[in-house]
Structures are given as C-alpha cells and as structure tokens.
C-alpha cells in the first residue's frame, strides 16, 4: 500500500457525508462511510480509494474481488487460471511468502452448501465461482493483503437459508406464536404457547451451531439473521430466549 498524507478527520467526515448521500457503494449512512474511511486511512489508503474498492454489504465492509486481486498482485502474488467455466473455476495462487495453492470451486459444490438459490448465482455462475476462488485463495496464500476481509459475494451468501430448512416449511396460521427463518415470508412453524415457541427457537439456534457445513463466523451470522427474522416476538419482552 502506498503511504499518503494524513487527511484531517473533519475533512474525512465531510467526504463521508457526500458519499452516503450519493447512494453509491452500499453506504447507507455517513457513519458507515466515515468508519470505513478512517480504517483505510490507517492502512495508508486514501479515503476516496477506500470507497472505490470497498462495498458495505449488510453492514459489513467487503473488498471487491477485483480490488482483492489487485492488492494480491501488487504485493507480489500471481494467479494462473487453469479452468474457467460456468461449472468450474480453478486457479493456482502463488506468493513468495506463502507458497503455491491450486484451488477449485465448482457449481455443484456451491449448490451442495445452499449458495446457488440467488439470482447472481443463476445468472453469473462463473463470476461467482471466480470471486470465491479469489477470496479463499488469497486468504490462504497471503492473508496479509486482505486482513480477513470477505468479498461482497461471500457476505451476501452468509444469509442464504439452508436448503433443507426451506424444504421443511410448515405453514400453520391458526397458532399465535409463529417462528420464522430468514428469507421466508411464511412461518416455519407456529406454536400454541410461549414456552413451546422458546423451545423451538432455541432448537433452531442449536441446529445452526451444531452444523458442520459452516464456519464459526457464518454460524454467528446465521443466528443473528434468525433473531432478526423473529424480532417482533423477541423485542416484545414476552419471550426470553
């Protein structure tokens, strides 16, 4: 990263307000833009470049795949694309400090973990597979240039509901305490009593926490999404989960 002269905080605050009002880059509030700009200035990145390279998805700063690749190459990394189709993307990532890794993402693999239900996977499968390869490959070979940041495509997939749960949806409208799962409008299940609802809600959380398909971070995000889907009942004060 190139070093830049420090920009006064008051100037960054003004820039953040302008960026938020523009409606670009997924930044909905000046606070989001301001925090991202401060973070990037700490890394020696001009605040305007931060807005160009990063995107706010679901309240999280994400690094676009192309920007992630540019950082990797500027740091001495190399990528050779071995396979590049809608069904499979394979790349060999190498860096003097991290060795070499040949990494493959397939559409079948993405489908098996419930990622392919959204329009971006149906319409742009090759680009989505490429983004996954870039993120995982760079974080594995030379994580210092991305410091744990994910791509927008990954963060958008964090909240994809597990396919088996969607298939098991039961609509029971005559019971007063509905339990919702993220991404659905109809209740997953409804209960006659608050105690039964609480048991069902906690069982769903336990099911997510025990899953072997997701990382700990993904599990935390999915549990947070489950809580948001049931905000009305949780915030009512009637239920203590």
- Measured distance CA(195)–CA(200) in Å, rounded: 9
Is residue 52 domain-shared with residue 71, that is, in the same domain? no
pLDDT band at 169 (very low <50, low <70, confident <90, very high): very low
Q: Does residue 240 sit within a domain?
A: no
Residue 77 has pLDDT above 90, yes or no: yes
Selection from 27-31, 65-69, 102-106 with the highest mean pLDDT: 102-106
> 137 and 79 share a domain?
yes
Lowest model confidence (mean pLDDT) among 32-36, 129-133, 227-231: 32-36
Q: Taking all residues of the chain, what is their mean pLDDT, rounded to a whole number?
A: 78
Q: What is the pTM of this model?
A: 0.50
Average pLDDT value for residue range 224-235? 82
**Who wins on pLDDT, 98 or 174?**
98
Q: Map tokens 């909905």 to a residue.
A: 28
Kindly state the tokens that stand for 206: 């336990």
Q: Looking at the predicted structure, is the pLDDT value of residue 159 above 70?
A: no
pLDDT at 162: 45
Q: 168-206: string of b/e by CB count within 10 Å (b at 16+)?
A: eeeeeeeeebbbbbbeeeebbbbbeeeeebbebbeebbe
Question: What range defines the domain where residue 202 resides?
Answer: 163-234
Say yes or no: 78 and 31 in one domain. Answer: no
Shared domain check, 168 and 228 = yes
Q: Is 95 a member of any domain?
A: yes
For residues 126 and 181, membership in a common domain is answered with no
Query: Considering its fold, how many domains does the chain have in total?
Result: 3
**pLDDT over 50 at 70, yes or no:** yes
Dump pLDDT digits (tens) for 175-201.
678 888 887 778 888 888 888 888 888
81 and 40 within one domain: no
Give the closest residue to 153 by CA, choosing from 121, 122, 183, 181. 121
| Contact by Cβ (8 Å): 124, 110 | no
């Amino acid at each position: 990263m190139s070093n830049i002269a420090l920009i006064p905080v008051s100037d960054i605050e003004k820039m953040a307000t302008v960026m938020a009002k523009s409606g670009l880059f997924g930044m909905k509030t000046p606070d989001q833009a301001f925090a991202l700009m401060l973070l990037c200035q700490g890394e020696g990145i001009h605040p305007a470049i931060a807005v160009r390279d990063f995107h706010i998805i679901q309240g999280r700063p994400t690094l676009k795949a192309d920007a992630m690749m540019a950082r990797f190459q500027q740091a001495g990394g190399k990528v050779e694309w071995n396979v590049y189709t809608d069904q499979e993307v394979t790349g060999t990532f190498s860096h003097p400090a991290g060795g070499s890794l040949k990494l493959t993402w397939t559409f079948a693999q993405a489908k098996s973990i419930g990622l392919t239900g959204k329009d971006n996977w149906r319409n742009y499968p090759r680009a989505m597979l490429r983004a996954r390869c870039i993120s995982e490959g760079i974080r594995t070979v030379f994580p210092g240039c991305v410091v744990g940041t994910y791509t927008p495509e990954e963060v958008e997939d964090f909240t994809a509901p597990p396919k088996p749960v969607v298939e098991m949806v039961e609509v029971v409208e005559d019971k007063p305490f509905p339990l919702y799962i993220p991404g659905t409008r109809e209740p997953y299940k409804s209960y006659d009593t608050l105690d039964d609802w609480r048991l069902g809600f906690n069982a769903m959380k336990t099911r997510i926490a025990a899953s072997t398909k997701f990382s700990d971070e993904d599990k935390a995000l999915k549990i947070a999404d489950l809580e948001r889907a049931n905000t009305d009942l949780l915030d009512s004060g009637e239920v203590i989960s």
